[in-house]
Amino acid sequence: MNESAHLWLIPLFPFLGFLLNGILGFRLPRRLVSAIGILAPLASFAVVLGDFGATIITAASSCPRCGSVTALALPAAETLSYPWLAIGALHVDFTFVLDQLSAVMLLIVTGVGFLIHVYSVGYMKDEPGYARYFSFLNLFFFFMSVLVLAGNFLLMFVGWEGVGLASYLLIGFYFQRTSAADAGKKAFIVNRIGDFGFLIGIFLVLSTFGTLGFTDIAVRLAVSPDWHGTVLTVICLCLLVGAAGKSAQLPLYVWLPDAMEGPTPVSALIHAATMVTAGVYMIARTHLLFDRSPVALWTVAIVGATTALFAATIGLVQNDIKRVLAYSTISQLGYMFLACGVAAYSAAIFHLVMHAFFKALLFLAAGSVIHAMGGEQDLRKMGGLRKKMPVTFWTMTAAVLAIAGFPPFAGFFSKDPILYAAFLQGTGGKLLWFVGLVAALLTSLYMFRLWYLAFMGEPRSEVKHHHATPLSMLAPMVILGVLSVCGGWIGIEHFSAYLAPVAAAHRPMPTGNPFLESILAIVAVLVALEGWLIADKYYRRKTERPAQLAAALPTGYKLLLNKYYVDEFYGAVIVKSLFAFSKFVLGGVDLLLAGVAWLLAGVASMTGMILQRWQSGNLRSYAAWLTLGAAVLLISAWLLGQGTAHATVYQYDGSALKHFLNAAGH
């Protein structure tokens, strides 16, 4: 009954789209480019939807009547018939696996990805490099689906690096602008640090388990249930470095705010909904390793909680609408890490899904605002957009309520399980819960600040020309708006039950308490409400207060406005020292190596100059040398031949000549 899931088609379509648009796109009319660009993810989405439907049917097929329907048992694995690597004991294949986790992730990647492709058609309409944009977007789509579907670490790493490449290309899409090109490079280099950790982790997995396949590793772990500790901890910490790089966690988050230099749909797709969540996905995918290492789990949780709070404080004072959203993304990713750290992987993935809905929507709405304002991104120059763009306003409102965690919006259903799961983890867990709660307060505050500044009040600048937002941009926003409102209604219980075969923690978990959960949920909502009230007070009723507060606390304000000077710190400590080291290498080591090379070349050329005198062009001198050489050969042969047993060779008996003549005669 295990029908083929056609997993290979999922990455194939966007890859074809990438090739077509990348090679021929600049000759094709824009309509055709858009059609290719949109149809590729749509086709993948259709395949994913078909597979997902089949799995749902399978799950429900305990009823005998459903037997005739095409069913798909999970996990469904497809391996290409020829091996990828076969080196000694190491065997790595091109294996794609569809299980509950990758199915959910693929639905988000292809579904939200498709919507953002549609949005891009309207947003990028007048941009040069239209075909280039869509080919890069499809390339990203290809690598992201490889990453999600990968059945072993190495294939996942290919997707992992590929999305990094696509991200680099798209951040630097406006490469004529120095800041965009620099931001692309920054993202790439910071991710390299994370990838280094990931790669070390993969090597350690290989040396520990002798295999890279996720299922093989699960089997190895299952046969030794008492295996905890050191090696696994080191592996997990290395993987965490990789995840922190990709998912912009402390201390490697610095690239994500700068990545906002890319087009806004790219920020929505790559830097909010899909790629940056790859780290969370990776931890959930490898959670069997993390389950065995309490140290690694605590590290993940602490990194996540710290990042959530840290980024939220920076987000409070940023004036660029996209930067606020970028810091918000970092903060929300921190929540997901926190959930992973307390082994609530289903909650992490649930929040990932909900976050994909509302954060993609926030970015798309911000893009709509920027589009309408003619490229203006400064919140201080916006205001009063409520009436001019009602659809954007209402969808943005839904997203803000969702991220702030108000019921019945999506964020409420996904954030509370995380805080609850943290609260259950002993005393340290309560501290994490408190940090998460403060971050939730700040989240609500900065999101409503953005909301008030952009949409409420009176316009604070003369807007030159209002673009009408086209339908291709509005439709995805409305769909995502509906999902931001209703997405959470699935409920964490159903979601966890669905993910349980792959994402349930294999370690003792504290027992829950429904009453406690309700109390915590009420507290969280009250905190979010408090954030709204503060924002209302500061940015609607007493708009002079923020400036007064900033004047009253200049140090604190400057610290936040300048993002804790982390970039400056990295620049001074890491970049400067690396630069100095590079200069030393160039000036010292390189000079030494070049000197050796010069020396050898000099010796050769000197020898040549001396030997060149032989080649005088004088025919008689050549002839003299020739004769001399022949004479030396003859004399030495004679001298050597005299005293040795081989003298017979030179005492000619005629046989050699006979042989020679015989040979010549025939």
Interface positions with another protein (CB under 8 A): 612, 615-620, 623-624, 627, 654, 657-658, 661, 664-665
Give whichever of 511 and 662 is closer to another protein, judged by the CB atom. Answer: 662
- For 461, the 3-state DSSP assignment is coil
Contacts of 209 (CB under 8 A, 6+ apart): 216, 217, 220
- Give dist(CA 370, CA 374) in Å, integer: 6
User: Which residue, chain included where needed, has tokens 């980024």?
Assistant: 311
Query: In the chain, what is the straight-line distance between the N-terminal and C-terminal CA atoms, in Å?
Result: 78
Q: Which is nearer to another protein, 68 or 618 (CB)?
A: 618
The smaller minimum CB distance to another protein, of residues 554 and 654, is found at: 654
Nearest to another protein of 375, 617 (CB atom):
617
From CA 541, how far away is CA 271, in angstroms rounded? 34
Which residue's CB is nearer to another protein, number 178 or number 662?
662
Q: How far apart are CA 349 and CA 214, in angstroms?
A: 18
Smaller CB distance to another protein: residue 615 or 642? 615
Closest separation in Å from C-beta 636 to another protein? 19
Euclidean distance between CA atoms 239 and 282, whole angstroms: 8
CA dist 269 and 276 (Å) reads 9
93 DSSP β-pair partners: 83
H/E segment holding residue 356: helix 345-372
Provide the minimum distance between the beta carbon of 616 and another protein in the complex, in angstroms, as a whole number: 7
CB of 641 to another protein, least distance (A): 19
| 141, containing H or E segment | helix 130-149
CB of residue 662 vs another protein: minimum separation in angstroms? Answer: 8
Rounded to an integer, what distance in angstroms lies between the CA atom of residue 446 and that of residue 535? 8
Alpha helices in 25-129, H assignment, sequence order: 30-60, 100-123
Residue 662, Cβ density class (10 Å: 0-12 exposed, 13-18 middle, ≥19 buried): exposed
| Distance separating alpha carbons of residues 70 and 1, to the nearest angstrom | 7
Q: Are 7 and 150 in contact (CB under 8 A)?
A: no
Least CB distance from residue 665 to another protein, whole Å?
5
Q: What are phi and psi of 616, to 5 degrees?
A: -80, -15
Which positions ≥6 away from 465 have C-beta within 8 Å?
374
Supply the minimum distance, in Å, between the C-beta of residue 605 and another protein: 14
Distance CA 160, CA 143 (A): 7
Nearer to another protein, 619 or 645 (CB): 619
Q: Which is nearer to another protein, 564 or 638 (CB)?
A: 638
> What angle do the packed helices 471-486 and 100-123 form, to 10 degrees?
150
Between 579 and 660, name the residue whose CB sits nearer to another protein: 660
Query: In whole angstroms, what is the distance from residue 614 CA to residue 625 CA?
Result: 9
User: Rounded to the nearest whole angstrom, what is the least distance from the CB of residue 660 to another protein in the complex?
Assistant: 9
Query: Tokens 């050699």 belong to which residue?
Result: 656
Residue 588: CB minimum distance to another protein, A: 39
How far apart are alpha carbons 544 and 472 in whole angstroms?
39
Minimum CB separation from another protein for residue 619, in Å? 5
Residue 508 vs 654, nearer CB to another protein: 654
Nearest to 556 by CA among 256, 294, 316: 316
CB of 649 to another protein, least distance (A): 18
Identify which of residues 581 and 650 has a Cβ nearer to another protein in the complex.
Answer: 650
Shortest Å distance, C-beta 624 to another protein = 6
- Identify residue 41 by its one-letter amino acid code: P
Nearest distance in Å: CB 647, another protein: 20
How far is residue 246's CA from residue 282's CA, in Å, rounded to a whole number? 10
User: If you search the block for the tokens 């209402």, which residue do you land on?
Assistant: 394
Query: Which residue's CB is nearer to another protein, number 606 or number 623?
Result: 623
Minimum CB distance to another protein smaller for 577 or for 616 = 616
Residue 22 beta carbon to another protein: minimum distance, rounded to whole angstroms: 53
Phi/psi of residue 583, nearest 5 degrees: -65, -40
